[in-house]
Homo-oligomer: A and B are copies of this chain.
Amino acid sequence: MSRKNAEAQFRLLREEWGDKGIDLDAVSRKCMELRIETPSWAYANCGTRFGLVKDPAAPRNAYEKLSDGAQVHRFTGITPAVAVHVLWDNVPDWADLQKHAVSQGIRIGAINPNLFTEPQYKFGSICNADPKVRRAAVDNMKNSVDIGRQVGSNLLSLWFADGTNYPGQGDFRRRKAWMEQCLADVYAHMPKSMRMLVEYKFFEPAFYHTDIADWGISTLLTKKLGERAQVLVDLGHHAHATNIPWIVSTLITEGKLGGFHFNDRKYADDDLTTGCMNPYELFLIFNELVAGMEDPSLKTDFAFMIDEMPVIKPRIESMIQSAVNLQEAYAKALLVDRAKLSEAQDDNRIIDAEEVIRAAWTADVKPILEVGRMRKGLDPDPLGAYRKSGYYAKTLKERSIPETSRRTTKKRMQKV
């Protein structure tokens, strides 16, 4: 779509929605103020348990991952931070990595300690029967807190692979007590400015039980820890048919919604492009978020993060798709006529309430986002613009050279 048509369509829509009391200029502006982190690990080679899919242009270290992440922000304008994984992204000097990020127009986002890759975690981390392993896990998390301090990140994002594969393998009650103690230790170590997000996951890599399996246990844990501990909702981490918008709403009322790991899935957790399978559900989640954000009686501060492993898709392109899909869901949620909705709900007029939701859902929001981008000096088509930029070809060439022969990286590596 050319820029000119977008403007024309936008004007038509602005008139139409203006009549309903919705200010499309404001919607467009808000959509450009959306802030989503992308994950450093999405830019690296990844795969399934059946094998790794290799891209010759894949980044070879944390610096290159951040450079890739910067491209997504360059074209979408809404992804100014990249979450890092302590272990996979380890560098000798985190402040230097942050400097690199800033030089690319972004910054380091949430700090994610890795508590599952090393052999010591074979039987779990903070729920491991071995106290030495639990201590190592706590130290690992405290180290991540310190990295956060160094780079100015206020988000400690925790996911635990802890669980068991067979009935009898673990004592659920003792494991819970260990977990609570370990988390309390880490919480006490955090600066006042930092939030701890506790992620839950229905299953995997544990296949009989998972110690933090659902929003219920995450909520109980974070309530015991304190105000700066909140729940992280990963869209792929639920049993089939679970009503995620309801969980989101419930967490908001409890002051415990800390943030999201966005992605999509059809079967089990599988890190597909956000919004690729059930875009309506994504919109309904944003509908709850916007309702919460617009309620002055509520304190809301949600950390939006994408957590995906593109596997067979070009990685940067997949991130752009996800960011755009999120922006579309947000735009539609901003179009919901909340007063009309409330009235219909009050009267139990089901179809009227549903039609309010669907009017926003079926709205054509592309012109709104295109105009928003253009007003920020961006190309209206982020994916197309990225493709035209030649970034992939450039990195393909650079990164097919063995890393150690590159001067800059070499220098950085010497510091390790």
Instruction: Report A's interface with B, CB cutoff 8 A.
Output: 1, 5, 8-9, 12, 16, 47-51, 53-54, 116-117, 119, 122-123, 128-130, 161, 164-174, 176-177, 202-205, 207-210, 213-217, 219-220, 239-243, 245-246, 249-250, 252-254, 265-268, 270, 272-273, 276-281, 284, 287-288, 291-292, 295, 311-314, 317-318, 321, 328, 341-342, 344-348, 350-351, 353-358, 362-364, 366, 383
List 9 A-B pairs, minimum CB-CB distance, nearest first: A216-B216, A239-B239, A168-B357, A172-B249, A240-B240, A364-B364, A49-B49, A48-B205, A203-B267
Min C-beta distance of A173 to chain B, whole Å? 5
CB–CB B276/A167 < 8 A: yes
User: A129 to B253, alpha carbons, bound, how many Å?
Assistant: 18
User: A345 to B124, alpha carbons, bound, how many Å?
Assistant: 12
On chain B, the residues within 8 Å of A9 by CB distance are 12
User: A300 to B164, alpha carbons, bound, how many Å?
Assistant: 25
On chain B, the residues within 8 Å of A356 by CB distance are 168
On chain B, the residues within 8 Å of A207 by CB distance are 265-267, 270, 272
A363 and chain B: residue at smallest CB distance: B364
CB–CB A172/B122 < 8 A: no
User: A355 to B384, alpha carbons, bound, how many Å?
Assistant: 11
Neighbour of A173 across the interface among B252, B267, B314, B346, CB < 8 A: B252
- Besides A167-B287, A176-B253, A220-B254, 9 new A-B residue pairs in contact (Cβ under 8 A), listed by A number: A123-B348, A129-B348, A202-B267, A203-B266, A210-B243, A216-B216, A243-B266, A278-B281, A317-B351
CB–CB A345/B246 < 8 A: no
CB–CB B276/A277 < 8 A: no
Min C-beta distance of A203 to chain B, whole Å? 4
CB–CB B173/A253 < 8 A: yes
Min C-beta distance of A71 to chain B, whole Å? 15
User: A171 to B341, alpha carbons, bound, how many Å?
Assistant: 9
> Given A205-B48, A217-B250, A241-B203, A166–B272 Cβ distance below 8 Å?
yes
On chain B, the residues within 8 Å of A116 by CB distance are 50-51
User: A342 to B128, alpha carbons, bound, how many Å?
Assistant: 13
CB–CB A216/B219 < 8 A: yes
* A-B contacts, 12 listed (Cβ < 8 Å): A48-B205, A165-B272, A167-B245, A169-B354, A174-B345, A203-B268, A209-B246, A216-B220, A278-B280, A278-B281, A321-B354, A364-B364
Min C-beta distance of A284 to chain B, whole Å? 5
CB–CB B245/A172 < 8 A: yes
Neighbour of A314 across the interface among B49, B168, B209, B351, CB < 8 A: B351
CB–CB A168/B354 < 8 A: yes
CB–CB B54/A119 < 8 A: yes
CB–CB A169/B272 < 8 A: no
CB–CB A130/B239 < 8 A: no
CB–CB B347/A129 < 8 A: yes
Min C-beta distance of A112 to chain B, whole Å? 14
A336 and chain B: residue at smallest CB distance: B168
Residue from A169, A213, A281, A366 with most neighbouring chain B CB atoms (10 Å) = A169
Min C-beta distance of A231 to chain B, whole Å? 10
A51 and chain B: residue at smallest CB distance: B117
User: A254 to B173, alpha carbons, bound, how many Å?
Assistant: 10
Min C-beta distance of A30 to chain B, whole Å? 20
CB–CB B213/A243 < 8 A: yes
Residue from A119, A129, A171 with most neighbouring chain B CB atoms (10 Å) = A171
CB–CB A170/B345 < 8 A: yes
